[in-house]
Structure 1
Amino acid sequence: MFDRNRWLVCEHEEKNVRSLSKELSTSPLCAKLLINRGYAEPSAAKAFMAKSDSFLYNPYLLKDIKLATKRIRRAIEEDEKITIYGDYDVDGVTSVSILYMYLKEHGADVDYYIPTRESEGYGLNAAAFRMIKEKGTTLIITVDTGITAIEEVEYAREIGLDVIITDHHQCRPELPKCIAVVNPKRPDCEYPFKELSGVGVIFKVICALELDFVNCGEYNLFTVKDMCKRYIDLVTIGTIADVMPLYDENRIMVYMGLGMLSATRNIGVRALFRAVGIDPAKKITSSVIGYTVAPRINAAGRIGDAARAVQLFLATSPQVADVIADELCAINRERQQTENLIFTEAIQQVEREHDLENESVLVLASDHWHQGVIGIVASKITEQYGKPSILISFEKVGGDFGKGSARSIKGLNMVEALAHCEHLLSKYGGHELAAGLSVERGNLAEFCKTLNEYAKVKLSSPDCVPKTQVEAEISEEEISMETVEEIAKLEPYGAKNPEPIFVLRDATIMELVPLSQGKHSRMILRKNDLDISAICFGYNLQNEGFVLHDRVDVLCTLNINEFRGSKTIQLIVRDIDFSEWSWNELQEIEEEFEEMRRGELSCDNEDIPTRAEFTSIYKLLLDISYQRGKQISIMKFLAPIPYISYLKVRIALEVFAEAELIELKKVNFATYYIKRLEAKEKKDLTATPLMKTLLQK
């Protein structure tokens, strides 16, 4: 909040907007949204809006897929035992589920294996292969994992196991030597869409198998669409949960899947919907899946047994499914408690031990953090500080090996950054913005140093400021049901196709009410003749310095609020700042302060902080600043002490800095970096240069 430099408002050539709007018979606002997504050409924009099933590509275009289907068919026909080896996240669980269901339908002798996060960690491992071999398996099919497991796959071959790798993670120069490696990210793969999820890849494999069975290996769109009817619900859940970009083929599959989820035949999905209170009669969106359904499935693999989630999707009894769904909800509540505890400890570690001014990547470690939750916390740390972060949990107190989860920001490819440090790591892999790693305790300090040196070169300081992409300014005339219905054609929203965020300029707060014991805020905003309801989640705006009749700019999404059969427009506020008019007033005060400091303008006695006011401001500093430093808005200072003016707070901060009680650096207008210093002796504030100047008559 209070930093409009975080808002990146897209600029548009008006002639391009008018042209596309006319060609598509759509509003200029919708045309801007299409241009922002790269669809400036009418034909591309029409295809995007139409969500054509022509984007369901031929699975045979995937490298090695015919080798994979040939070996799988042989295993089915010769009654070999097949083991599906999956990952423990939602993408992996849904991948295991659809492949298991398909192979069972075709009479295969098949089981599945998902490693435990806590004891085995991510990926393939030799011990698991030995156990699988002892149970009589001859063919392993990996889903959502295995692309970097060169040594493990070689070991499998040595003990007589055939392996088919299906994965979607980034490849290394050398691929595992096995029967087939199906991954659209292979450099030699000509598949037209590279961003499939793990469950998307395995869906393509079973589509190819079905084409082999019913179409003699010839591509047929109707066969693929029939497969969508059977499996696209789970493909959709896995794709959304893995935060895959929702354009091209992913967009079509998720669009189809969201439409089918309300009437899904999967007993487990229906049970989970009941457990979390989702009404299938209402519209199911990607947000509902991503924020309500996926965390409960993920929780099983994070702090429980991921196989439990597979059992949910394979359930044939509603009663059994209900029991498992309730169990997953209980595990998720436990996960939330654990996550909150780790997040609090991580924040304390950052503020206590890290130099936010000079560190490009925050590397945090503990001997007792739950490895299943540190990835979520890393995401929250990155969001909080606008920096890449890595959270590492060592196996036990004093243990030698730690497993870590990394999250990055635009400008730093985390996999490439880890590759730069690979001589210090036992294992690593993942995506550009999210990765995993293993490191020895003895290498941790050198790893932090090497990683930060690399990141400092790659990241300029603007990269470390969280940015919000704002699609367009919106007028009061555009805030309408018609607008909401029109932009809904851009759904489903997700990565690379975000829900549109708009900026409404210079609205006046007419009503401001805290909700849920001050956790959230509700407002009525007035823009000219329009009064608009707005909800701000996660912020008590009164505590942030906002009061009635403030003129503000808000970043918001447009939402339809349904209550007792009535529909109204409601803004969901993503960020809020004082309007340019309000900032101009404060700018005048800042200019007055500078003139007073230079002795060019006399200061009235009532504008100089009293001893009691200096004390109040300093006590507040002790509450909200840290010895490691923190960015603080002066406007936030004013919320708990509304009787003290902006000018007095500004004077007090400068006096504290001159008295060496704090370190003060201006970040941008009205926001300062404040670091509390240890006072070695009692300070006479009236002896500071600024106070001497102000007290001169």
Structure 2
Amino acid sequence: MNMTMLAEIDARNTRHSSDAAFGVQRSANAARWVMADDDMSAIQSIMRMQKMPELVARILSSRGIDADDVDAFIDPKLARDFPDPFSMQDMRAFAEDVADDIENGVKIAVFGDFDVDGSTSSAVFIKFFRAIGIEIPFYIPDRMVEGYGPNINALKTLQEKGAEYVFIADCGTTSFDVIAQGRELGLKITIFDHHESEDKLPNANFVINPKRRDDESGLGVLAAVGVCYLACVAINNVLKSRGYYDKNNITPPDMRMFLDLVALGTVCDMVPLNGANRLFVRHGLPMIERQLNTGIAALSDVAGVSGKVDSYTCGFMLGPRINAGSRVHKAYLGAEMLASEDADHAKNIAWTLNDCNDKRKAIQDEMMQRAKRKVEAEGLDQNALLFIDDEDGHPGLSGLVAGQLKEIYKKPCCVVTYANGEDGRREGRGSGRSVPGVNMASAFIDARHAGHCVKGGGHAMAGGFTVLPEQVDGLKTFLNDHVQKQLESAETSVETVIDGVLSVRGVQVDFARDVERFIGPYGMANEEPLFILPHVKLQFVDVVGGSHVKCTIVDAEGGSRIKAVAFRALDTDMGQLMLNKQGALMHVVGFIRINSWNGNESAELHIKDVALA
């Protein structure tokens, strides 16, 4: 399967029936349930190619994978499926140019964003150049003081450290003024990004971004770390072709050695896990498991990661700890740890990040409670956009709170917190999280052009902005109108596509392993399969951990039972239905997971939705 074909596979565009599954028109989560389509001929063809359960073949078929594609999907090969770095606009010219600079001893530095994608991007550059005998300084901006994107003081700092050429990673595509100022300082600048682009580009030496309007590579799914990794591959290829390694008695680096960083950043940035991303993650996760990277090994130990590593490990155990540094402490810690070769130093940073994550959880809970009180008191959930103006909020946590509120209220959400900017002026830092049909990045970019905020951009489903206090009211009105218009022109009914039907008895460890083996790794555009357990009852329903709802699911006859949990469900309609209707006949939808405890394994259900039967 080629990269273009892989990139077209989107699990949430899974072919599905128009009929409501088991008659559920509106579930506890206000969704209409539909079943993924069956194509028995395609299913049988897949099963002839690969020995697997019929239900697993059914899932692959519904996701647009046929018998010709199944081998490449299940087991993508680096030698066969690796994307061409030079297919990206500007990449060839950049690689030749930077190879000249390497040969001429030009001092290179990297400026990276403060999230996991930016930290891994920076670490990839640092470790690649170290592998060819060059140490490069890096700069990660302070989330609270400097905010998102490059700034002129940071570029000056790198220049004072000797930098003549700055690589800007995971940001910069809309940083027109700062890039122009950096060029005026005499710096060479190349941008490596994956955020939405405008028709006009900054005046950098090169802009490597597969989302450029003129880029025809088909690699728009990449996270920034994927773009940076392919840039290193391109540089490596050019240096090899020039005989640079032979002339300087350097062993060429094995480019596979960076795939653990690429996998970690890709999963945590929630980009589609298809195309090149699936290839990188499929090969990078086992490297994380083997703990080849000193920093990842230290963080894994502190986080209690052992055994098999999957997308959940990256997204919920490693990623939040890396992000916690920039949210509540020092932004550079993640990149420094990931690039470190010193085990003791990496372990010290890992423990610091772990403490930061504990602090982050406590502050986030306070902000959530404050936001929900504000929504209820002011009726904010009646607007198209949920806009929370939090004077007491922590600027590093606005995105997390916006994401949680979006899940509760099922609508786009923005959270604004306040801090002093570089010039000492008080400014709002906003983060937004969206729903299908509403492009958050375009809303923020349009708001910036209309003069309602200072900065704005991001992705369709998530973005950020900087706003002056006197602009907040106008921005709130502008964004609400913008979102309302998008919702009116979009298909806004919420549908949950269910991948298959299981009995309680069918929830088994072996089946869970087969699902993971053939369909994982999971992420956007290849979501974890959802299964429905129809006509079951919930027993022993209880609240655990303050906000989670656990229960036992039994079949209608009471003969088979499994354990189940709905995370952070207490304050949702789903959680309340589970607590108040235990014993009633229900349909339950969720993911199958393997629970390991004291050497024993059992399959359980992580509940995502319920409906009365």
Scaled by the length of structure 2, the TM-score of the pair is 0.86
Does the 8 Å contact 2:176/2:201 carry over to 1?
A: yes
Does the 8 Å contact 1:86/1:96 carry over to 2?
A: yes
Does the 8 Å contact 2:548/2:565 carry over to 1?
A: no
Instruction: Look up the match of 1:583.
Output: none
* Alignment match of 2:174 (pick from 148, 169, 172): 148
Q: Of the two, which has the highest radius of gyration?
A: 1
Q: Distance in 2 between matches of 1:29 and 1:551?
A: 25
Instruction: Look up the match of 1:42.
Output: 67
Q: Which amino acid aligns with 1:49?
A: I
* Alignment match of 1:269 (pick from 296, 300, 323): 296
* Alignment match of 1:254 (pick from 281, 300, 309): 281
Instruction: Look up the match of 2:400.
Output: 376
Alignment of 1:28-177 (within 5 A): 28-39=54-65, 41-53=66-78, 54-108=80-134, 110-177=136-203
* Alignment match of 1:493 (pick from 522, 525, 529): 522
Q: Which amino acid aligns with 1:174?
A: K
Which shifted more, 149-158 or 115-124?
149-158
Instruction: Look up the match of 2:9.
Output: none
* 2:318 counterpart of 1:286: no
Alignment of 1:438-477 (within 5 A): 438-460=466-488, 467-476=495-504
C-alpha change, 1:228 and 1:475, in structure 2 (3 Å) is farther
Q: Distance in 1 between matches of 2:485 and 2:374?
A: 25
Once the two structures are superposed, what CA deviation does each residue of 1:75-123 show, in whole Å capped at 9, x if it has no partner?
3222222121111111111111110121123233521111111111111
Q: Distance in 2 between matches of 1:519 and 1:146?
A: 40
Q: How many residues align?
A: 569
Q: Distance in 2 between matches of 1:156 and 1:461?
A: 41
Instruction: Look up the match of 2:563.
Output: 534
Instruction: Look up the match of 1:683.
Output: none
Alignment of 1:329-478 (within 5 A): 329-357=354-382, 359-395=383-419, 401-422=427-448, 423=450, 424-460=452-488, 467-476=495-504, 478=506
Does the 8 Å contact 1:365/1:394 carry over to 2?
A: no
C-alpha change, 1:260 and 1:354, in structure 2 (3 Å) is same
Q: Which amino acid aligns with 1:296?
A: R
C-alpha change, 1:275 and 1:38, in structure 2 (3 Å) is same
Does the 8 Å contact 1:472/1:501 carry over to 2?
A: yes
Q: Distance in 2 between matches of 1:169 and 1:291?
A: 23
Once the two structures are superposed, what CA deviation does each residue of 1:468-498 show, in whole Å capped at 9, x if it has no partner?
4322322456434443232221010111111
Which shifted more, 468-477 or 441-450?
468-477
Per-residue deviation, 1:57: 0.8
C-alpha change, 1:517 and 1:210, in structure 2 (3 Å) is closer
Once the two structures are superposed, what CA deviation does each residue of 1:347-386 show, in whole Å capped at 9, x if it has no partner?
11111223423x1001111333221111111111111101
Per-residue deviation, 1:191: 1.6
Does the 8 Å contact 1:144/1:166 carry over to 2?
A: yes
Structure 2, unaligned runs of 5 or more: 1-25, 245-251
What secondary structure is seen at the aligned counterpart in 2 of 1:391?
A: strand
Once the two structures are superposed, what CA deviation does each residue of 1:405-439 show, in whole Å capped at 9, x if it has no partner?
11111010111222332311211110000011112
What secondary structure is seen at the aligned counterpart in 2 of 1:339?
A: helix
What secondary structure is seen at the aligned counterpart in 1 of 2:214?
A: coil
Per-residue deviation, 1:575: 2.3
Q: Distance in 1 between matches of 2:491 and 2:366?
A: 29
Instruction: Look up the match of 1:568.
Output: 602
Aligned-residue sequence identity (percent) comes to 26
Q: Distance in 2 between matches of 1:574 and 1:176?
A: 43
Does the 8 Å contact 1:476/1:527 carry over to 2?
A: no
Per-residue deviation, 1:450: 2.0
* Alignment match of 2:271 (pick from 244, 247, 251): 244
C-alpha change, 1:194 and 1:400, in structure 2 (3 Å) is same
Q: Distance in 1 between matches of 2:503 and 2:46?
A: 17
Per-residue deviation, 1:26: 4.0
Once the two structures are superposed, what CA deviation does each residue of 1:551-594 show, in whole Å capped at 9, x if it has no partner?
22111212233344443332222222322xxxxxxxxxxxxxxx
Q: Distance in 2 between matches of 1:430 and 1:506?
A: 43
Does the 8 Å contact 1:367/1:396 carry over to 2?
A: no
C-alpha change, 1:180 and 1:533, in structure 2 (3 Å) is same
What secondary structure is seen at the aligned counterpart in 2 of 1:394?
A: strand
Scaled by the length of structure 1, the TM-score of the pair is 0.76
What secondary structure is seen at the aligned counterpart in 1 of 2:68?
A: helix
C-alpha change, 1:524 and 1:447, in structure 2 (3 Å) is closer
Two-structure CA RMSD over aligned residues (Å): 2.7
Once the two structures are superposed, what CA deviation does each residue of 1:122-146 show, in whole Å capped at 9, x if it has no partner?
1111222233333332111111111
Q: Which amino acid aligns with 1:302?
A: R
Name the structure, 1 or 2, with higher relative contact order (CA <8 Å, separation 6+).
2
Once the two structures are superposed, what CA deviation does each residue of 1:250-299 show, in whole Å capped at 9, x if it has no partner?
011101111111212221111111111111xx111110110010000001
Alignment of 1:18-37 (within 5 A): 18-24=43-49, 26-37=52-63
What secondary structure is seen at the aligned counterpart in 1 of 2:189?
A: strand
Q: Distance in 1 between matches of 2:253 and 2:605?
A: 39
Alignment of 1:512-661 (within 5 A): 512=541, 515-516=544-545, 519-528=548-557, 530-538=559-567, 539=569, 544-546=578-580, 549-579=583-613
